[in-house]
Structure 1
Amino acid sequence: MAKGGEETFILSMKKSFGGSAANTIVALARLGKRVGFIGNIGNDEEGKEMLRDFEKEKVDIAGIRKFNDKTGFALCFVDSSGERALYVYPGANDFLSIDEERLSYAKKAEILHLSSFVGGTSIEEQKKLVEELGNVKISFAPGELYTSKGLAFVKEILSKSYVVFLNKREIKLLTGKNYEEGAGELLRAGAKVIAITLGEEGCYIASKKEKLKVKAFPTQVIDTTGAGDAFAAGFLFGLLEGKDLYECGKIGNRVASLCISKVGAREGLPSREFALQILK
């Protein structure tokens, strides 16, 4: 990866669909779950392509709205070790708003999964949504965009979350502590379950009743893009199937290992046949 003032060359380029929450939703759809998406697209060809892709993946698009702006995108750079750097342009996502129609749509869910936005206004809409949801379980993947702003920035959502997904770097940014101590702080803040991805070490899961470490599945790392999103999908699949936290972590690790074995956030995601094998 080039640093400031350096130049390097690109071996190959590829255009694909992404977005943290979108990746998780698509993974759950492939695993056979009924899913929908709330978000904005621009009035451009990329927005049209995104809608077509969601429909192909069997994602309900009733919560998506079109704005006269560019569809948000990210530039993702991956080095020879599989590590990545992201540059994100929010585009139409800066106009996200939650009204009665979208609130009613979200209330139909068993779990609502939230991720981060680049713009500063969208988190206020997320807070408003979480406040009104009642019995819907909240799944929250704040990512580095939110965790870099500190605990106070996300505390309103975190305190109402059933499960919070982070990696080691993010929990350090959020709490200033290592992942075990940081998980304890987030549990005290109100979250019910903390799931922390540890790369080749697997994952760490903490609740008030138990603390677990689940080993990773050995795999050749091609591209880590979307690994956390894939883990979240596997974990949430386990929750929806009534699995215990250890099994949820195990499924999350397996789905993530398949994701990082291919280039791109979605190319390696498993199918319903994989889910049926898990449930045997």
Structure 2
Amino acid sequence: MDVVTFGESMVLFSSDQNLPLQYIHQFNKQMAGAESNVAIGLAKLGHRVGWFSKLGDDPFGHYVLHQIRGYGIDTSRCRHTNDAPTGIYFKEQRTHGKTQVYYYRHHSAASRMHPDELDEAYLAGFKFLHVTGITAALSPDCLAFTRKAMASARKQGLKIVFDPNVRWKLWDSEEAAKQVLLELAGYADYILPGLDEGELLTGCKQPEEIASALLKPGVAGVVVKLGSEGAYYQSEQQGGYVAPFPAEEIDPVGAGDAFAAGFISGLLHGDELEQAVRKASAMGAIAVSVNGDVEGLPNEQELLHMIHHHDDEDYQNVKR
């Protein structure tokens, strides 16, 4: 197996109307969550993926599980509970490309993941572990669960990709977030902060400075996501900027998850860091150009076609 990840996935309700939620009467039901978005992105690219969580033993929990399993993802380590519900959230799109999200996840089933429930032997069957800072912020038990999973994966030789993925509504303070996220980054082989997250963790404002500050012994690479301006990557051997792929921004939610999926896919294919970041950037561009977190994500052939088509256009522009 290639990649395993874990975390909370919720039922998403959104509308085709660009109105405040209080004026919306009909909603579309979907499923989304940062870690499952990454898992689905990787599965659509042809990788063998596992995802696990704790879900409510309710209709929404079974819906989430069936949706993720439908992509061919192994969900055999998921648990259901009658003690708490599956989380939900609502997406409000007020104007073109402007999105507000409202979460109803407090005391959800996923927040009750306990470190004693971790199947460490299961982790050993994978090459990569993907982790976000979201899970650690759900509850003290989830933080302990995340620590144990990362420590176990590191001990068993998995490569760990860590995305801080800050959700401010889940943290008590910036200092609390910084302390925990830096601790978790210490387990990682690859760290994928956004520019604001990098500033939070390091106090630095420039991508090069952020990457240098996070590139501690044991870290193979840092990639600072710059949104519409591309990304900056750094390892001990190399560093540089990757230009963004052109995209019309329709829905920015899920772009970072698509970026992570493209990046990990590149690493699995043995790509150099720069090429892996280019795949990540292309995936992010595809994600923002469609509504929904995962529905528009490409397969491997479609992703490579986009990259090659972009390269051909650049070549023709240089010739002109």
Task: Give your verdict on TM over 0.5.
Answer: yes
2:92 is aligned to 77
- The TM-score with structure 1 as length reference comes to 0.89
Distance 1:15 1:170 in 2: 30
2:101 is aligned to 86
Aligned residues: 273
1:4 is aligned to none
- The TM-score with structure 2 as length reference comes to 0.78
2:313 is aligned to none
What is the identity, as a one-letter code, of the residue corresponding to 1:95?
A: R
Post-superposition Cα deviations, 1:17-70, rounded to whole Å, max 9, x if no partner, equal 111111000000000000001211111111111111112111100121111121
1:160 is aligned to 187
Distance 1:279 1:99 in 2: 43
Out of 139, 143, 168, the residue aligned to residue 120 of structure 1 is: 139
Deviation at 1:196, TM superposition (A): 1.7
**What are the ranges of 5 or more consecutive residues in structure 2 without an aligned counterpart?**
1-18, 309-320
Post-superposition Cα deviations, 1:228-275, rounded to whole Å, max 9, x if no partner, equal 000000010000000011111110111111111111111211124325
**What are the ranges of 5 or more consecutive residues in structure 1 without an aligned counterpart?**
1-7
2:50 is aligned to 36
Out of 28, 35, 38, the residue aligned to residue 14 of structure 1 is: 28
Out of 165, 172, 182, the residue aligned to residue 210 of structure 2 is: 182
Mean CA deviation greater in 108-117 or 9-18: 9-18
**What value does the CA root-mean-square deviation take over the aligned residues?**
2.3
2:196 is aligned to 169
What is the identity, as a one-letter code, of the residue corresponding to 1:160?
A: Y
What is the identity, as a one-letter code, of the residue corresponding to 1:120?
A: S
| Residue pair 1:38, 1:102 contacting (<8 A) in 2 also | no
| Rg comparison, structure with higher value | 2
Out of 65, 70, 73, the residue aligned to residue 79 of structure 2 is: 65
Distance 1:85 1:185 in 2: 32
Distance 1:270 1:75 in 2: 25
Q: Summarize the alignment of residues 228-247 of structure 1 with structure 2, pairs less than 5 Å apart.
A: 228-247=256-275
Q: 1:83 to 1:183 in 2, by over 3 A?
A: farther
Q: 1:246 to 1:276 in 2, by over 3 A?
A: closer
Work out the percentage of aligned pairs sharing the same amino acid. Answer: 28
Q: 1:207 to 1:274 in 2, by over 3 A?
A: same
Post-superposition Cα deviations, 1:76-131, rounded to whole Å, max 9, x if no partner, equal 33342424333331511111123476211112110000111242321221111211
